[in-house]
C-alpha cells in the first residue's frame, strides 16, 4: 500500500503561515526559494512527514495537497 510522503500548504500570506506553524508546532522552516518554504517536521528522534508552504493562486488561495 502506498504511503503519504509529503504535504504542501497553500496560503496568500505564506510568510505568516510559516511563522504560525513554526511557533505552534515547532516545525523547522527553511528560507524561501521562489515563494516556497520547505518544512521539516521530524528528526532522528521524532518521525514526521516533511513538506512545504507555498503561495496559492488567487482563485484558490488556500488548501492542502497530500502526496502519496
Would you state the pLDDT for residue 61? 59
CATH number, position 47: 3.10.180.10
The range of the structural domain enclosing residue 44 comes to 6-61
Neighbours of 57 (CB within 10 A): 10
Report which of residues 27 and 68 the model is more confident about.
Answer: 27
Q: Is the pTM of this model over 0.85?
A: no
11-22 burial, b for 16+ CB within 10 Å, e for fewer? beebeebbeebe
Q: Is residue 1 part of a domain?
A: no
pLDDT in tens, 42-55: 776 766 788 999 98
pLDDT in tens, 1-38: 567 778 889 888 899 999 999 999 989 999 999 889 99
Q: Is residue 66 part of a domain?
A: no
Amino acid at each position: 500500500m502506498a504511503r503519504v510522503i509529503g504535504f504542501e500548504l497553500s496560503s496568500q500570506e505564506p510568510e505568516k503561515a510559516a511563522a504560525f506553524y513554526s511557533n505552534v508546532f515547532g516545525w523547522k522552516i527553511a528560507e524561501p526559494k521562489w515563494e516556497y518554504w520547505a518544512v521539516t517536521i521530524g528528526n532522528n528522534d521524532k518521525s514526521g512527514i516533511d513538506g512545504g508552504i507555498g503561495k496559492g493562486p488567487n482563485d484558490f488561495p488556500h488548501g492542502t495537497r497530500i502526496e502519496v
